[in-house]
Structure 1
Amino acid sequence: MPRIFDNIEQYLLPILQDTIETSKRADFCVGYFNLRGWKEIADKIEKFTGNENSCCRLLVGMQTLPEKELHDSLAFRKTETGMDNLKVIRFKKQIIQGFYDQLTWGAPNNKDEKALRLLRKQIETKKVVIKLFLRYQLHAKLYLFHRDDINNPITGFLGSSNLTLSGLKKQGELNIDVLDIDACQKLHKWFDDRWEDRWCLDISQDIIKVIDESWAREKLIPPYHIYLKMAYHLSSEARAGLSEYQIPRSIKDELFDFQAAVVKIAARYLNRRGGVLIGDVVGLGKTRIAATLAKILEDDFFLETLIICPKNLVSMWQEYVDNYKLRAKIISISKVQKILPQTRRYRVLIIDESHNLRNRQRKRYRAIQEYIALNESRCILLTATPYNKSYLDLSNQLRLFIPEDKNLGIRPEKLLHEIGGEIEFSRKHQAPVRSLAAFEKSEHPDDWRELMRLYMLRRTRSFIQKNYAQIDETGRKYLEMSDRSKSYFPIRQAKTITFDLGGSENLYALLYSEAVVNILGELNLPRYGLGSYEVSPKSAKGKSMTDAESRQLKDLSRAGKRLKGFCRTNLFKRLESSGVTFLQSIDRHILRNYVFLHAITNQLPLPIGSQDAAFLDPRNKDEDSIFFDSEDEAENIDLPTTTFISETETEYQERAAKIYQEYATQYKSRFKWIRPELFKASLKKDLHADCLALIEIGKKAGNWETNNDQKLEILIDLL
């Protein structure tokens, strides 16, 4: 009676390994061959010498997926089963591609790499010969072993196990051994007939090539080649955009090459994801790019455009609409609340200076967002400063056209790694892990770079000079216009202009006085060093400190000294910049202190902003400035000619109460909130002391009259 090997009570793999040990050669016929599965018998095959009488012949059949078989059997038109050279080439290519794909699954490991390299060596030394049978679908699973045994020269194993990890030892199978001499001889003849068949092709060298082009190759791949492959895949969408879209002839000559390129790529983003953010730096032609993009959508899809922009840009946009003959309407951003609800459907929406829509609590933001959702408009956002203080600046602009729970196809990987995976994320946050809402939980730059890679196109002047500019005989870089004229990049030339501070009554003399400098140097800056005011856990007025509060205090303590230094340096830089900027910063600093004092006095939670020092970079706008702007503020208003700091605490207290109310209602999600009981009484004392000291600066400076600003006058003369 034959033995049964079902991988349940008795496994096939151990008996195959033992049988190879006593065999001089082997013949395998399988329907499916997994390259990684070879490691289970690779060491045993090594004993063969590599000639015809001492090798392993592996015959791989061509299998069809069950659903494909069902489809063919039920088809009205039956496919021909005959074979010809064209079919052979096609089938062989498909099978070899399957071997390539096998090695892209799962993570590489040392054991698999060793076995694959050994397989390559065995093929090269003729210890293993692999053929592909193509005459018809072959599902047979047969293992024959030729031995120097007069009583049992051939041992066979016949059944259902493929040459794979699961087939040999994991999943349930049904195999039997064949020891009858006559039966084994017939099986041997059956194998030879197919091995010698006209449509049985030797693919040994193809398998070597597969291994040589995989991670298991002997020769290391140069890092530069890896870089090129990564760049190739990362740029696939950009390359697709460049090949799929054409610039209208009427506009083509007006665009530089770098502008034409971003138009085509943006068109691809727009049609695939419903929106694109063009964040080129100032002066690279974002308006022209957006107008061209609108023209492409108009010509190709008959879509009309609605343009929303600041009031002072309406006339400029009207010129583009007229010149490009766009079917478009222009609305000032200050009027969207009144006009948008009555505006008919426009399928393309251009928003210029989209960074003005960083705050999704504002009425104009909601009006635009609702219009986009209602009309399914594709969005083109234009801004040179897409990011100011928080990553929410980016997500809020994207939220205009992306629902917060939409599947983006990517996850915030750094965040997931930090908190312990997707399950832990779902436990902590009520948001789909591949959504915009999930990315808003992350503070990792890598996560946001991956997100913005899908939606934002941004180039700098240095990028344009490096990739698009030409160089003349003098070494200067330029771009060539359509009429062959040269447009040179300006060369920055720093020039220092001095001016006399004059007497003690001069505005700058008052601010640059030793007394003012000393006041700035002696400030406590408690809001930027809250960690140093932390009370002991037992002193939190009877209420135990939560884990979240403990983590918050730990973060505040870690950031303290660094932020204080940045804040003090920032104030000095603003003083150096201009009197107006400095006094505005002082005024807002005082007001924020009074917001804290208001919370402490009334036993309300303290609004803690970001503790990232980058947010205090003076290149950015003044921190939190968005909270001091009025929703209904008119555009193009005249700037005040007088700047001053209030000399009364009462006025600051009243303003702070209103600001706190806005923080706690409209802007609550922008802050972390913490109980004032967790801080020492000295926090209130130091906040108040700083307020009085800064108000004293206002008293010394008095009113800042722009008309008497010597530094501004000299700048105007220089220009």
Structure 2
Amino acid sequence: MPRIFDNIDLNLLPILQQTLASSYRADFCVGYFNLRGWRYIAEMIDRYSGGLGNCCRLIIGMPIDSRHEINAIYNMRSQPRGYGDLGEIFIDKETALKRKQSMAQELRTQLTRGFPTNEDEAGLQQLSRQIIAGKLKIKLFTAYPLHAKLYLAYHNERLHPNNPRTGFLGSSNLTVSGLQKQGELNIDVLDHDATKKLEKWFQDRWNEFGCEDISQEIVEVIRHSWARTELIPPYHIYLKIAYHLSYEAIAGSKEFMIPAEFAEILFDFQKAAVQLAARHVTRRGGVVVGDVVGLGKTMVGAALMKIFDDDYHLSTLIICPKNLVNMWQSYVDRYRVRAKIISISKVQKELPKLEHNYRLILIDESHNLRNRGGKRYRAIADYINKNTCKCILLSATPYNKNYVDLSNQLRLFIADDTYLPIKPERFLREFSNGYNGEAEFHSKYNCGTHTLGAFEKSEYADDWRDLINLYMVRRTRSFIKNFYTETDRETGRKYLLFQDGQRSYFPDRIPKAIKFPLTETDPYAQLYSPEVVEVIGSLNLPRYGLANYKLPRPKQAPNEGEKKQLENLSRAGKQLKGFSRTNLFKRLESSGIAFIQSLRSHILRNFVYLHALEHNLEIPIGTQDAEFLRVQKDEDLESIIDSLEPEELEDSSGEVEVSELSNYPEHSIVNYSQQAQEIYQIYQQKYRNRFKWIRADLFKIKELKKDLLSDAQALMNILKTCGSWQTKSDQKLLALINLLTKKHPQEKVLVFTQFADTVNYLVGSLQSLGMAQVDGVTGQSRDPNQLVTRFSPVSNGRVGDRAISPESQIRVLITTDVLSEGHNLQDCAVIVNYDLPWAIIRLIQRAGRVDRIGQQAAEIFCYSFLPAEGVDRIIKLHDRLLQRLQQNAEVIGSDEVFFEGEDYQEYQQITLNLYNEKAGTLDEPEDNEVDLTSEAFQIWQQAIANNPELETTIKNLDNVAFSTRSHSPNLDQPEGVLLYMKTSSYNDALVWVDREGNQVTQSQVAILKAAACSPDTPAIPRHKLHHELVEVAKELVIEAEKQEGSKLGKPGGVQYKTYYRLKNYLQNFPLFASEELQKAHDQMYKYRLQESAIDTLNRQLRLSISDRQLSELVLSLWQDNRLCFLETEGAIEEPQIVCSLGLFTGN
């Protein structure tokens, strides 16, 4: 009786191994062949001598997988060529060859699944050697499906006369599962006659037409797989990682065509930004274009608007600073984009009144929305949420020193519960030291680990770099120089090449000092004294600290509205005091006239309060005299200091309005009181709605009056001491005149100052001396863009414009920092810092206005005004003011954060460097914050540009490939393995484990940097732990996938959202629930979406497709077999290993 081998009571494999051990040749015929399964019998086959009659012959009977077989059997419309009744077989050589090629590809794909092991690697290499040695011959049966499973071993008849052949017949394929890991039904065949007939049957199949030798193809499959004997260069693994990480950029370049209007004017790096940003917008709902100053973000934004207008019929709502409105209008007109433009200062009024629901919003200088508690922020966020808008944010400084600045901008289009494919793992590692897992994190912080809220808990740059990669396109000047420029052979300078052949060089910034004397007769020197600084530091500033004067128990208790006002006063007081004090000092540094005007305004405001208190009138608070001061045509930070809206303090780039009366009275209490009475009446009668009003009897009137009058008298004493301003004695002004008439009499010069008062003073003084072509720009200029184009017509595309004749052009433009961002001024190569902003970034931004694409000069001269005696006086005065601020526990605005610790020391050093004209002082700070996708894309692009053959080599490098290179470990970068995988939802997953199997990081940025190496980096032999560590890393990814979601993926994913929207649609509209639609819906629950379906559905979901349209789209994809990957025999529901790189010492 035959024995039954079912792998339950009796396993087939050990008996088969024993039988083969005593054989000299064998014939196998199986339906399916798993290359990894060969190692279980390879040792026995190794004993064969090889050659005809002394080898193992193997027939693979199923040239197509079982899914195709079933289709062939049950397809009522047609049958594949070659599949009639078996008695009527027809097959030609061409069809046989195609099936042979298909099987070779299937076997190649086999080795890209699962994970590598030492045993499998040795077994596969042994399989290849046996074929080469003639010990194994493999054929593919292509004539028809051959599902037979036969194992026939031949023994030496002299040694085994009673058993020359042993057969096993049944159901087991030559696979790991078929031989031992799943239930089967096999019997042994020992009968002489039966085995003889089986031998003949096998021989007939072996010789049958359509049984094609596939041995060499299998050798090639193994030779190109991870199990190859040849070492793969580490550089190839590095490029494979870069290639896959740059998928978004590559896909964007294929998915989005650059509009014809932009094809000839955008540089390659700008085109790459447009295409990547467009993909982010369609897939993720928004993008931050964060290229550094001067790289053309405005052009990128304009091209993006054109793409979404042309391809998706979306008109755009542009929100920008008021001084950029006309510039954006010119872009809209020039490129025929459907768009509406609103100044950011008007969003609260304008957005609720918009009749058209814009689905795409572009926000220029989006860093102005860093505070999500602000009124403007809320107005914009409400509009975006209401209309499900996609967002394009433009900012060269998306965050300053606080990463929450960035997250607040991202929150404009990312909801609190949006599931992100990454988490702040560096922070979570620290968190896990004191807590147990993600559940406790959620309990403590009330948010998931894969949300924006989780990232806001982290202060680690690595965490934020990973987040930036998802939503930002950011390149630096050094990045552009390294990857996109050409080099001038004569000078060695880097340049970009325009379409017309012109070159745009990257100029050097040359710091120059204008050293003006401070003499005893100089009115500026009289003001710039320790005594004046002491007065500023000693001011009470009661208007900005009203909370300190609140009555604890007023006679008439405050109502609810007044209570809220009093609470706001308490919250803002110290910040406003510090801001006011530093603002006075900055005006003093700017110019004497600006300081004097500010003192007069400050005195007058105090007397307005005194007038209200003396007559028991309401006190005007908030933006106290903003509208009145606008009428007076002057600007200063103080006009909005009273506002409790922090973003208001930042909106006008360091310049705000102040009151200036054309004929100020003599500096006496009587005259100021009379003037204050008139202004108070104007406030009450004409501008009452502009302010918040509060009862005077809620405060300690006597104490408040005393401090208001004390400050006013101290400031009046300064004015009396310095007397009237004498322009002819102003040494700083005279030094500027000398620069404009002697050093640069013909060149265009851009003069920066922080204050409009200084702008007006300089413009008036220069024009009074007869200097032509001089003009000024402030926040109150009606059309800054018109002045910009007159100053820099070439860079603004206005060459030949009749409206800008040579006579009407501006040679010297004097401006506040209102032009320090967002404008093209690169016709000029000389800038002047008439005063030094305390925020260092402003100095660099000023230089960046002219150091932009299109600058023709090799050098940009950056002049800064400093006292000839040196910078000691400046530093001492700063120290004194800082000491006073600290004594008062006052804080100042975010732009002045350098006034603390190391940042203040840095400011002092930069001031000294400017005085000494030290090279590099005004260069862009070292910035490596490039988004990972752009960086990976350029690594890939540069590599294939240097060696075009690499493109084919890397793309043909099969998954699971690995290499090892020598590594010098340290605490943060230990020995171990870098693993790159694709998750079941096709997300990128990178993990670094050390040699003990502990996770080092999953940061894509860190892992790409760790993998970096040069083309000539040698590979070293694989470490014995490599494959084991790959499996450990794989399990980490799988475990994370289990925790993160079900078969539908994550709650924020395309499959999850599509499934549940369809579920609701089918429940609410059962009449539309066709049988086919229900099947498509069920398929989405069981199987994962195809990659093309993910792209299609995601794009439409972002465009707010209706439920009915979504159902039609899903049904169409299902009918075309383009919806899901259907599971097949042997399919692996695991993430797919792409590649791995070992980092070991090599000892």
**What's the TM-score, normalizing by structure 2?**
0.44
Does 2:473 align with 1:461? Answer: no
Matched residue, 1:312: 323
Stretch moving more, 130-139 or 236-245 = 236-245
Whole-Å Cα distance in 2 between the matches of residues 86 and 403 of structure 1?
A: 57
3-state SS of the aligned residue for 1:221? coil
Task: Please tell me the residue identity of whatever aligns with 2:125.
Answer: R
- Is the partner of 1:155 in helix, strand or coil? strand
8 Å CA contact retained: 1:501, 1:509: no
* Structure 1 counterpart of 2:496: 479
Contact 2:374–2:645 at 8 Å: present in 1 too? no
Q: Distance in 1 between matches of 2:178 and 2:518?
A: 89
List gaps (5 residues or longer) in structure 1: 517-574, 583-624, 643-649, 652-689, 699-703, 705-709
Distance, in Å, in 2 between the alignment partners of 1:53 and 1:418 is 66
Structure 2 residue 144 is matched with structure 1 residue 109: no
SS in 1 for 2:887: helix
Partner of 1:402, secondary structure, is coil
1:695 aligns with 2:890: no
Deviation, 1:11, is 0.9
Is the 1:406–1:435 Cα contact (8 Å) retained in structure 2? yes
Aligned mate of 1:354, from 353, 366, 369: 366
Q: Does 1:173 align with 2:184?
A: yes
Q: Deviations over 1:52-98 (max 9, x none)?
A: 22211121122655554554444441223414444334433332222
Distance 1:694 1:266, change over 3 A: closer
Give the whole-Å Cα distance in 2 for the aligned partners of 1:506 and 1:93. Answer: 89
1:297 and 2:314 correspond: no
1:629 deviates by: 5.0
The aligned residue for residue 45 of structure 2 is 45
Structure 1 range deviating more: 259-268 or 399-408: 399-408
Other structure's SS at 2:78 match: coil
Report the Cα offset of residue 393 of structure 1.
3.6
Distance 1:407 1:139, change over 3 A: farther
SS of the equivalent of 2:9 reads coil
2:368–2:651: 8 Å Cα contact kept in structure 1?
Answer: no
Structure 1 position 220, deviation (Å)? 0.8
Residues 81 and 136 in structure 1, CA contact (< 8 A), matched pair in contact too: no
1:17-75 CA distance string (max 9 Å, x none): 11111111111112222122122122222111111222111211226555545544444
Equivalences, count: 557
C-alpha separation between the residues in 1 aligned to 2:460 and 2:30?
A: 49
- Out of 382, 404, 409, which is 1:397 matched to? 409
Q: CA RMSD in A?
A: 4.1
Tell me if structure 2 keeps the 8 A contact 1:311–1:635.
Answer: no
Give 2:102's aligned residue.
94
Structure with greater contact order relative to length (CA < 8 Å, sep ≥ 6): 2
Separation in structure 2 between the aligned mates of residue 507 and residue 212 of structure 1, nearest angstrom: 80
* Equivalent-residue separation in structure 1 for 2:56 and 2:182 (angstroms): 25
Q: Which has the larger radius of gyration?
A: 2
1:237 & 1:478 partners in 2: Cα distance? 27
Residues 1:131 and 2:147 aligned together: no
Structure-1 separation of matches of 2:413 and 2:74: 45
Of the three residues 367, 371, 381, the one matched with 2:383 is 371
- What per-residue deviation string (whole Å, max 9, x for no partner) do you get for residues 682-703 of structure 1? xxxxxxxx998932799xxxxx
- Paired with 2:495 and 2:203, the residues of 1 have a C-alpha distance of 72
Q: Following TM superposition, by how much is the alpha carbon of 1:173 offset from its aligned partner in structure 2, in angstroms?
A: 1.4
Contact in 1 for aligned 2:511/2:914 (Cα 8 Å): no
**Equivalent residue of 1:18, what SS?**
helix
In the TM superposition, residue 14 of structure 1 has moved relative to its aligned partner by 0.6
Aligned-partner SS, 1:492? strand
Deviation, structure 1 residue 224? 1.8
Give the corresponding residue for 1:242: 253
Matching residue of 1:452: 468
Seen in structure 2, the aligned counterparts of structure 1 residues 110 and 332 have a Cα distance that, compared at 3 Å, is: same
Question: Residue 326 and residue 197 in structure 1: after superposition, are their counterparts in 2 closer, same or farther (change >3 A)?
Answer: same
Quick check: 1:143 aligned with 2:151?
Answer: yes
- C-alpha distance 415-99 of structure 1, shift in aligned 2 (>3 A): farther
Counterpart code for 1:463: F
Change (3 A) 1:226 1:176: same
Match of 1:608 in 2: none
In the alignment, which residue of structure 2 is the partner of 1:17? Answer: 17
How much does 1:452 deviate?
A: 2.9
Q: 1:674 is matched with which residue?
A: none
Quick one: distance in 1 between partners of 2:13 and 2:67? 30
| Partners of 2:182 and 2:253 in 1: CA distance | 49
CA 282–377 in structure 1, closer or farther in 2 if over 3 Å, else same? same
Distance change >3 Å, CA 468–CA 99, structure 1 → 2: same
Distance in 2 of aligned mates of 1:101 and 1:415: 38
Alignment of 1:591-670 (within 5 A): 629-630=645-646, 635-636=651-652, 638-639=655-656
Rate the CA distance shift 1:696–1:475 in 2: closer, same or farther, 3 A.
same
Contact map agreement 2:513 2:914 (CA 8 A) in 1? no
- Contact 1:511/1:579 (8 A) holds in 2: no
- 1:502-651 paired onto structure 2 within 5 Å: 507=528, 629-630=645-646, 635-636=651-652, 638-639=655-656
- Letter in structure 1 aligned against 2:474: R
Please point out which of 431, 434, 438 is paired with 1:425. Answer: 438
Instruction: Report what 2:216 is aligned to.
Output: 205
1:118 aligns with 2:145: no
Q: Deviations for 1:1-22, whole angstroms, at most 9, x for unmatched residues?
A: 1111111111111111111111
CA 1:632/1:418 → structure 2, altered by over 3 Å: closer, same or farther?
A: closer
The residue identity in structure 2 corresponding to 1:42 is: A
Q: Which runs of 5+ in 2 are unaligned?
A: 83-90, 538-581, 590-640, 660-702, 705-881, 891-895, 897-907, 923-1147
> Partners in 1 of 2:432 and 2:341 — Cα distance?
48
**Letter matched to residue 87 of structure 1:** T
Amino acid across the alignment from 2:346: K
Deviates more, 1:442-451 or 1:234-243: 442-451
Task: Report the AA paired with residue 368 of structure 1.
Answer: I
Report the AA paired with residue 335 of structure 1: K
Alpha-carbon displacement from aligned partner over 1:479-532 (angstroms, at most 9, x marks no partner): 23343333222112244566778899875878999xx9xxxxxxxxxxxxxxxx
- Residue identity in the other structure for 1:92: K
Cα distance in structure 1, aligned partners of 2:437 and 2:588: 46
Q: What is the distance in 2 between the residues matched to 1:173 and 1:249?
A: 64
> Residue 350 of structure 1: CA displacement?
0.8
Deviations 1:602-629 (A, max 9, x none): xxxxxxxxxxxxxxxxxxxxxxx9x985
Determine the structure 1 residue equivalent to 2:199: 188
1:221-300 matches, cutoff 5 A: 221-300=232-311
Distance 1:580 1:2 in 2: 105
Q: How far apart in 2 are the matches of 1:255 and 1:68? A: 49
The answer to whether the 8 Å contact 1:359/1:365 transfers is yes
For 1:52 and 1:581, how far apart are their aligned partners in 2? 101
AA of the residue aligned to 1:39: R
Instruction: Give the 3 Å change call, closer, same or farther, for CA 456–638 of structure 1 in structure 2.
Output: closer
Deviations 1:628-687 (A, max 9, x none): 853565843734899xxxxxxx99xxxxxxxxxxxxxxxxxxxxxxxxxxxxxxxxxxxx
8 Å CA contact 2:93, 2:210 repeated in 1: no
The alignment partner of 1:453 has SS state of helix
Q: Distance in 2 between matches of 1:510 and 1:59?
A: 101
Aligned-partner Cα distance in 2 for 1:93–1:442: 52
Matching residue of 1:660: none
Letter in 2 for 1:320: Y
Cα 1:427–1:70 shift into 2, 3 Å: farther
Identity within the alignment, % = 54
Q: Is the 8 A contact 1:29 1:61 kept in 2?
A: yes
Question: 1:29 aligns to what?
Answer: 29
Q: Deviations over 1:571-597 (max 9, x none)?
A: xxxx9xx97899xxxxxxxxxxxxxxx
Task: State yes or no: 1:488 paired with 2:505.
Answer: yes
Q: Is the contact made by 1:508 and 1:579 (CA closer than 8 Å) also made in structure 2?
A: no
1:426-478 deviations in Å (ceiling 9; x for gaps): 56426666554555566554454344333321111122222232333322222
